Amino acid sequence: MSKRSTTTRSEELLDQALALIPGGVNSPVRAFHAVGGTPPFMVRGDGPWVWDADGRRYLDLVGSWGPLILGHRHPAVLAALRDQLERGWTFGAPTEGEVRLAATIRERMPSVEMLRLVSSGTEATMSAVRLARAATGRSKILKFAGGYHGHADPLLVEAGSGVATLGIPGTPGITPGAAGDTIVVRYNAPPEAEAAFERWPEAIAAVIVEPVAGNMGVVPPAPGFLAGLRDLTRREGTLLIFDEVITGFRVARGGAQARYGVTPDLTCLGKVIGGGLPVGAYGGRRDLMELVAPAGPVYQAGTLSGNPLTVAAGQATLDQLDDGVYQRLETAGQRAADLISGAASEAGVPMIVNRVGSLITPFFTGSPVTDYDSAKASDTARFGRWFHRMLEQGVSLPPSQFEALFVSTAHTPDVIDEFAVALAGSFSGP
């Protein structure tokens, strides 16, 4: 087999990785399959910046896909991690830190009366679905096309994120039984959800929804969509699960449920609550959570759940997030979105920029993006060309049209000025 010629350290590392790790990456969205080229292998981060193995510096708008709401190596998070490291990093036993973090989450998100910490968003959604099935005695789950809730079998059907990016059509490895229990309807289309309940009466255990879709690109809920789901699920005896893995403590101090004033039965969390270390959580109504083992019979467990380092980083992160921070994130997000729209319109490129707080997706289309079909109408080849021009200018964006840009508190006005410079001329050309 002939070896690819290599010129950069990232290319060398990718060559080695391809022989050892599927696709050379440990999560598909990191590969550059949708945009072409070699992903820079990162070695260091600081504030809004990351550096690759070839010493190039990038303005980071990936933010580790959401957790780094304070940017890289925030001093408070670093201090909390150092402090915990000195005392040990896993005990397989309860710790005071877990209790504090749970109390902080409940105080900011009152619908989460009790919660269980796990190690990833996938674990959180998977466990919430199991709990919903146990609590209702029903089998089916209703989700929305382009919604991504991690990679548990029943939730991968018509999923967004990497599944959308790679255009994976079916669900190889998933049994017809698992897929058959998942009903998929259009996001922001209440009549479709209502029709599903008519077709499968008393069969749907839960509706699971990203209250702001973030994995088909950012798609805000239409006015009344979430409240409509709340009414519908209540009427039908079905649980409403908000997947706030991306939006939790990102779009408001109390998450999307506070921003839109709709209270779910169960909430899934991740990303921000771990401050950049592996984490997930599911929680909600006390009567439901008391069904979880060992309080109740619904089994779920994890060796590193509530890991002390994760809990320390998560607590230190949440401790920074006051109202002023959300105001700053809103302002920075608005300015970044305006700059992208302005540069695109100057170049005559049709573009819709969707934004909720510090979550942004520029869609290469002239028509509103309200669901998965309208997201897929984007010119993904043009997105790829723009992505590479920005990378050349030293800006690291998510390598897919169907993801969100994440602005952090480290994206100060000066840093956004640098983004503006990089944007200039980035939409010119084909």
Can you give the three-state secondary structure of the chain, one letter per residue? CCCCCCCCHHHHHHHHHHHHCHHHCCCHHHCCCCCCCCCCCEEEEEECEEEECCCCEEEECCHHHCCCCCCECCHHHHHHHHHHHHHCCCCCCCCHHHHHHHHHHHHHCCCCCEEEEECCHHHHHHHHHHHHHHHHCCCEEEEECCCCCCCCHHHCCCCCCHHHHCCCCCCCCCCHHHHHCEEEECCCCHHHHHHHHHHCCCCEEEEEECCCECCCCCECCCCCHHHHHHHHHHHHCCEEEEECCCCCCCCCCCHHHHHHCCCCCEEEEEHHHHECECCEEEEECHHHHCCECCCCCECCCCCCCCCHHHHHHHHHHHHHCCHHHHHHHHHHHHHHHHHHHHHHHHCCCCCEEEEECCEEEEECCCCCCCCHHHHHCCCHHHHHHHHHHHHHCCEECCCCCCCCEECCCCCCHHHHHHHHHHHCCCCCCC
Q: Is 119 in the site for ligand HOZ (CB under 6 A)?
A: no
Identified catalytic residue from 271, 326, 371, 372? 271
Asked if 243 is an active-site residue, the reply is: yes
Residue nearer to ligand HOZ on the CB measure, 65 or 242: 65
Identified catalytic residue from 52, 58, 140, 148? 148
Asked if 319 is an active-site residue, the reply is: no
Q: Is 29 in the site for ligand HOZ (CB under 6 A)?
A: yes
Q: Is 147 in the site for ligand HOZ (CB under 6 A)?
A: no
Residue nearer to ligand HOZ on the CB measure, 97 or 280: 280
Applying the rule CB under 6 A, the residues between 151 and 170 that interact with ligand HOZ are 161-162
Q: Is 59 in the site for ligand HOZ (CB under 6 A)?
A: no
Find the binder of ligand HOZ among 32, 41, 65, 383 (CB under 6 A): 65
Residue nearer to ligand HOZ on the CB measure, 25 or 291: 25
Asked if 322 is an active-site residue, the reply is: no
Q: In the complex, which residue's CB is closest to ligand HOZ?
A: 27
Q: Is 148 in the site for ligand HOZ (CB under 6 A)?
A: yes
Residue nearer to ligand HOZ on the CB measure, 27 or 428: 27
From the CB of 25, what's the least distance to ligand HOZ, in Å?
9
Residue numbers at the binding site for ligand HOZ (CB under 6 A): 27, 29, 65, 148, 161-162, 215, 403
Catalytic residues: 148, 243, 271
